[in-house]
């Protein structure tokens, strides 16, 4: 099975135009918030690629219509973590190319899903734009099918399910990919099964009241209506039908040895090969799924939601495993107790998580996302926290509110917000993440964070008073600058304080629930608290609890210096 070449059918407009990457970043900010947009987009006067990455242009990872993709390594990681980078020339290009680049950057800054390749950074100079992407080392789906011949139905259905989740998420944002093919689905790691979609160079923001006309994509995967230059987002579902057939059979449904003209006729009429052995051996449900997606009339073709509900996909596993464990729920709930700045820092750190770190929790995110929208709603969160773990509704609402991006227009939890919450307990915060987060705040690479830099990255996420309070607490030597060491100490101190506050509160709770010793009335009035136990009020001394509290807090050097934490503890004793 040979790879079909990319379509080169582009309209050429000779007049050079200016690419507005700043505008793309601003539009993305309205969707995902300032941290996830501004934290990854760097203008040449602020930050350069070489400040954050070691560039190895001799190590080419691949090439495409827009040039080569090469390896870069982070300067902020002790292990020199690798990423993929590609550069676009910005001068002397057509209006169409300008628009394509702007759209690709806006989409990459906006999309946030476990099955979509993540852009880590974008660097703009006067002449070029470099995009740094996560490195997906598992190879193309195309190579997997070549090696295997064809997939088993279970493996094919599992792969298609992951792809449909990505398409469903894109459709919810009004995005059409327009070049779905085996080569654009990559495995996260060698031998793994987690797929991610890449290459948004032909993608487009689309309005349902307006059809698209440009014939783009790869011929083997191209829908009939694309050939007729009058199509909607359903073109992506046709491409998914081609992929599903190919995974089951091991060859393309419309290709043949009689040339492109004959293939175009077969695509236009929806006549695909049914005489191959692998197709005849496929189950009736699998065949029905493929036939529905390869429906010529786009209006009768299923959308992503309907495709996900098809029995061949929905019933691909007889027993569903749960990935939402108690520690996942604990991380979600504890995130709401963290300060606003700490939550913002965790969100910044989430940008730099490795594939392995995200893999620990991404299946839990997909499990909570019952409607496959790629986001978590309040009702979805409530169904997990209340029904399975008996968390009170007020606590669920508080957790949901803390997880929402401050500038998000929709009342949903995005994938990056979920990852940030997992870092409060579930994912370990190590030096590389702290250094990478500091670098994103330190926009000019001066080695210090100032109040204007905090404002630049966080925007309206924190008020002026909150930002000044952060400076007051983190800037230990009161020189108006937060150094790397001060930044790390502040976050670790806060994390330690929050962790020990929780432990101390648990210790107090245990002490208060022990049977009380006999005391005089005067002693009981002088030092007592009232707790509700077995539906009866019981007065118990908190002296033992305070002793336990002192033992817990004694080794925490930062605890005694933080009046806020002490007052919170005292409040818990009232």
Summarised one tens digit per residue, pLDDT across range 48-75 is 999 999 998 888 887 766 678 999 999 9
Q: Is 327 a catalytic residue?
A: no
Kindly state the average pLDDT of the residues 97-103: 92
Residue 204 has pLDDT above 60, yes or no: yes
DSSP 212: B
Q: What is the pLDDT of residue 507?
A: 47
Q: What is the pLDDT of residue 495?
A: 52
535: left (phi over 0), alpha (psi -120 to 50) or beta: left
pLDDT tens-place string over residues 252-278: 999 988 989 999 999 999 999 999 999
In this prediction, residue 516 has a pLDDT band, given cuts at 50, 70 and 90, of very low
Residue 414 has pLDDT above 70, yes or no: yes
Q: What is the pLDDT of residue 556?
A: 42
In this prediction, residue 527 has a pLDDT band, given cuts at 50, 70 and 90, of very low
Q: Count of CB atoms within 10 A of residue 300's CB? A: 9
Enumerate the β-bridge partners of residue 146.
none
State the burial class of residue 276 (Cβ atoms within 10 Å of its Cβ: 0-12, 13-18, 19+): middle
DSSP 515: P
In this prediction, residue 494 has a pLDDT band, given cuts at 50, 70 and 90, of low
Mean pLDDT of the chain: 83
**SS3 assignment, position 287:** helix
In this prediction, residue 234 has a pLDDT band, given cuts at 50, 70 and 90, of very high
Rounded CA separation 80/74 (Å)? 5
Q: What is the pLDDT of residue 398?
A: 84
Residue 562 has pLDDT above 50, yes or no: no
Least confident of 85-89, 353-357, 473-477, 546-550: 546-550
Give whichever of 224-238, 376-390, 440-454, 483-497 has the largest mean pLDDT. 224-238
Rounded CA separation 354/390 (Å)? 32
Q: What is the pLDDT of residue 269?
A: 96
Q: What is the pLDDT of residue 490?
A: 86
Domain spanning 326-474: CATH superfamily: EF-hand (1.10.238.10)
Residue 138 has pLDDT above 90, yes or no: yes
Enumerate the β-bridge partners of residue 88.
129
Q: Which of 121, 179, 417, 442 is catalytic?
A: 179
In this prediction, residue 524 has a pLDDT band, given cuts at 50, 70 and 90, of very low
Q: What is the pLDDT of residue 431?
A: 87
Nearest one of 100, 116, 112 to 24, comparing CA atoms: 100
Rounded CA separation 504/175 (Å)? 49
**SS3 assignment, position 178:** coil
Q: What is the pLDDT of residue 402?
A: 81
Residue 403 has pLDDT above 90, yes or no: no
Rounded CA separation 371/317 (Å)? 18
Residue 211 has pLDDT above 80, yes or no: yes
Q: What is the pLDDT of residue 561?
A: 40
In this prediction, residue 24 has a pLDDT band, given cuts at 50, 70 and 90, of very high
Q: Report CA-CA distances (Å) from 204 to 108, 170, 175.
A: 12, 10, 6
Least confident of 239-243, 331-335, 351-355, 404-408: 404-408
Phi, psi at 390, each rounded to 5°: 60, 40
Say if residues 510 and 503 touch (Cβ distance below 8 Å).
Answer: no
**SS3 assignment, position 333:** helix
**Residue predicted with more confidence, 508 or 287:** 287
Nearest one of 29, 36, 74, 32 to 439, comparing CA atoms: 74
Yes or no: domain 141-314 corresponds to CATH 1.10.510.10:
yes
Q: What is the pLDDT of residue 209?
A: 87
Output the six-digit token pair for 214. 């440009």
Q: What is the pLDDT of residue 62?
A: 79
Residue 396 has pLDDT above 50, yes or no: yes
In this prediction, residue 428 has a pLDDT band, given cuts at 50, 70 and 90, of confident
**Residue predicted with more confidence, 536 or 89:** 89
Annotated binding residues for ATP: 86
Q: Where in the chain is the domain with CATH 1.10.510.10?
A: 141-314
pLDDT tens-place string over residues 319-372: 557 889 888 988 888 888 888 888 888 989 998 898 888 988 999 999 999 999
Q: Report CA-CA distances (Å) from 32 to 29, 38, 42, 139.
A: 5, 10, 17, 29
H or E stretch covering 171: helix 153-172
Q: Which residues contact 526 (CB under 8 A, 6 or more apart)?
A: none
DSSP per-residue letters across 67-86: EEEEEEEETT-TT--EEEEE
Residue 239 has pLDDT above 80, yes or no: yes
Kindly state the average pLDDT of the residues 402-412: 66
Q: What is the pLDDT of residue 573?
A: 47
Nearest one of 86, 100, 132 to 21, comparing CA atoms: 100
H-only helix segments in 298-354? 304-309, 311-314, 326-335, 340-351
Least confident of 180-189, 373-382, 540-549: 540-549
Rounded CA separation 154/315 (Å)? 10
pLDDT tens-place string over residues 288-327: 999 999 999 999 999 999 999 999 999 887 555 788 988 8
**Residue predicted with more confidence, 4 or 170:** 170
Kindly state the average pLDDT of the residues 212-227: 96
**Residue predicted with more confidence, 270 or 391:** 270
**Residue predicted with more confidence, 45 or 515:** 45
H-only helix segments in 475-542? 484-512, 521-526
Q: What is the pLDDT of residue 430?
A: 85
Q: Where in the chain is the domain with CATH 1.10.238.10?
A: 326-474
Q: What is the pLDDT of residue 174?
A: 96
Nearest one of 414, 379, 407, 394 to 336, comparing CA atoms: 394
Q: What is the pLDDT of residue 318?
A: 52
Yes or no: domain 21-134 corresponds to CATH 2.60.120.10:
no
Annotated binding residues: 86
Residue 454 has pLDDT above 50, yes or no: yes
In this prediction, residue 282 has a pLDDT band, given cuts at 50, 70 and 90, of very high
Least confident of 92-106, 127-141, 335-349, 358-372: 335-349
């Amino acid at each position: 099975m040979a790879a079909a070449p990319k379509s080169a059918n582009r309209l050429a407009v000779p007049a050079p135009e200016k690419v507005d990457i700043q505008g793309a970043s601003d539009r993305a900010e309205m969707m995902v918030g300032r941290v996830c947009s501004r934290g990854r987009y760097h203008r040449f006067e602020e930050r350069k690629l070489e400040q954050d990455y070691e560039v190895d242009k001799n190590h080419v990872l691949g090439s495409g219509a827009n040039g080569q993709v090469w390896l870069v390594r982070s300067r902020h990681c002790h292990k020199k973590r690798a990423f993929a980078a590609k550069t676009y020339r910005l001068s002397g290009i057509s209006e169409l190319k300008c628009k394509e680049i702007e759209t690709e950057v806006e989409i990459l800054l906006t999309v946030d899903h476990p099955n979509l390749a993540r852009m880590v950074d974008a660097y703009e100079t006067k002449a070029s734009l470099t995009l740094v992407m996560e490195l997906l080392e598992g190879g193309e789906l195309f190579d997997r099918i070549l090696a295997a011949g064809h997939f088993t139905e279970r493996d094919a259905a599992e792969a298609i399910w992951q792809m449909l989740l990505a398409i469903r998420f894109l459709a919810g944002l009004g995005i059409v990919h327009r070049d779905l093919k085996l080569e654009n689905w990559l495995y996260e790691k060698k031998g793994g099964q987690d797929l991610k979609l890449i290459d948004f160079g032909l993608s487009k923001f689309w309005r349902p009241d307006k059809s698209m006309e440009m014939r783009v994509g790869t011929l083997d995967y191209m829908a009939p209506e694309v050939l007729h230059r009058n199509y909607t987002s359903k073109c992506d579902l046709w491409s998914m039908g081609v992929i599903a057939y190919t995974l089951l059979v091991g060859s393309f449904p419309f290709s043949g040895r009689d040339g492109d003209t004959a293939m175009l006729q077969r695509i236009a009429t929806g006549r695909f090969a049914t005489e191959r052995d692998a197709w005849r051996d496929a189950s009736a449900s699998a065949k029905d799924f493929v036939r529905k997606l390869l429906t010529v009339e786009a209006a009768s073709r299923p959308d992503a939601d309907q495709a996900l509900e098809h029995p061949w996909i929905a019933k691909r596993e007889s027993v569903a495993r749960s990935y939402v464990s108690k520690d996942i729920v604990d991380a979600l709930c504890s995130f709401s107790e963290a300060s606003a700045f700490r939550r913002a820092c965790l969100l910044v750190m989430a940008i730099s998580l490795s594939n392995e770190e995200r893999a620990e929790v991404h299946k839990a995110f997909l499990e909570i996302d019952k409607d496959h929208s790629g986001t978590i709603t309040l009702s979805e969160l409530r169904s997990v926290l209340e029904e399975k773990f008996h968390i009170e509704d007020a606590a669920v609402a508080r957790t949901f509110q803390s997880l929402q991006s401050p500038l998000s227009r929709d009342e949903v939890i995005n994938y990056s917000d979920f990852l940030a919450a997992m870092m409060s307990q579930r994912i370990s915060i190590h030096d590389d993440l702290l250094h990478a987060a500091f670098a994103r705040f330190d926009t000019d690479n001066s080695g210090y964070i100032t109040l204007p830099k905090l404002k630049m990255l966080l925007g309206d996420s924190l008020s002026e008073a909150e930002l000044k309070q952060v400076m007051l607490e983190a800037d230990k030597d009161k020189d108006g600058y937060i150094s790397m060491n001060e930044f790390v100490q502040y976050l670790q101190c806060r994390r330690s304080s929050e962790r020990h506050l929780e432990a101390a509160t648990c210790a107090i709770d245990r002490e208060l629930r022990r049977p009380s010793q006999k005391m005089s009335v005067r002693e009981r009035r002088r030092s007592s608290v009232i707790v509700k136990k077995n539906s009866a009020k019981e007065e118990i001394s908190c002296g033992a609890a305070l002793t336990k509290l002192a033992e817990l807090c004694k080794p925490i050097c930062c605890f005694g210096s933080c009046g806020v934490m002490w007052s919170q503890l005292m409040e818990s004793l009232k």
